[in-house]
Amino acid sequence: MKAVTRYWLIPVVLVFWELIGRAVEDTDFPPPTTILVRMWELWFSGPAGQLFLTEDAIDNILPSLGRMFSGWILASVVGIALGMLLGRSRRAADYVDPLIEFGKSIPPPLLLPVFVVLFAASGPNGVLLTQLATIVFGVIWPVLLNTIDGARAIDRTYIETATVFNLTRAQRLRVVVLPAASPKIFAGLRLSLSLALILMVLTELIGGTDGIGYQLLQAQRGFDGAGVWAAIALLGTLGAVVNALFVLTERRMLVWHRQATRNP
């Protein structure tokens, strides 16, 4: 009943969309059933040996997910490492803060031409490196900034307790600093995951040779309205599924934080 109460609007919107789409009969505004059929034809009508994925799905969806997660993981690792360093060292942060303020103000798509020039000599991997660099540059800021805030906001009592127990710097980081900063780190990771999906699509729309964004562009050029909406629906579904899985992981890993918040 709780799920019905939360999601009752979705079927209502889909039914309304279906009725309007069939009444208008516009190829640029197809009904949801037409979009679902097109999605099945494009990506999910393959043989059982391929988990019902078509060749188009293998050649486009999997590379898109690979680029998105590769860029996100790389940005997360670098962002958390730098954030811990800057969050625990006020002197280092004073030197780097102006660069961070400047860097986070630059829209990542504007750097695409720069990355194209930088990686032009990389041969066949030039396009991939350009896409990854754009994703990493746009994704790293939420992780970095949230990690810095989390590392700075640690209760001084925790640090003093670690000093009393003669913990080494590495032990203090692993046992005290990282767990205490993890709620804000996970908040940055969740936001950056959504940005990674957006930037993945943008890099495929501009100069890509495969991927979901590339298929969307090809459908638009071929006047395939249902194909365009199918790509949009797929991206929305992927975003919702990835976010739900991340929230589930976050809840399991931060269960101690929720319990401490409820029972201070």
pLDDT tens column, 36-77? 999 999 999 999 888 889 999 999 999 999 999 999 999 999
CA distances 217 to 9, 28, 69, 115, 206, Å, are: 30, 14, 22, 21, 9
pLDDT at 186: 94
Share in percent of the chain as helix, strand, coil (round to 5): 85, 0, 15
Specify whether the CB–CB gap between 71 and 136 falls below 8 A: yes
pLDDT band at 164 (very low <50, low <70, confident <90, very high): confident
Beta strands in the chain (DSSP E): none
Cα gap 253→97, rounded to integer Å: 30
* Residue written as token pair 């969806």: 61
Checking if the pLDDT of 264 tops 60, the result is no
CA distances 1 to 6, 11, 14, 107, 240, Å, are: 9, 15, 20, 43, 21
Cα gap 70→54, rounded to integer Å: 23
Say how far residue 137 (Cα) sits from the centre of its chain.
13
User: Which of 131, 262, 150 lies closest to 201, judged by CA?
Assistant: 131
Checking if the pLDDT of 263 tops 60, the result is no
Checking if the pLDDT of 35 tops 80, the result is yes
pLDDT at 125: 81
Position 81, amino acid: A
pTM above 0.85, yes or no: yes
Work out the mean pLDDT of the chain and round it to a whole number: 88
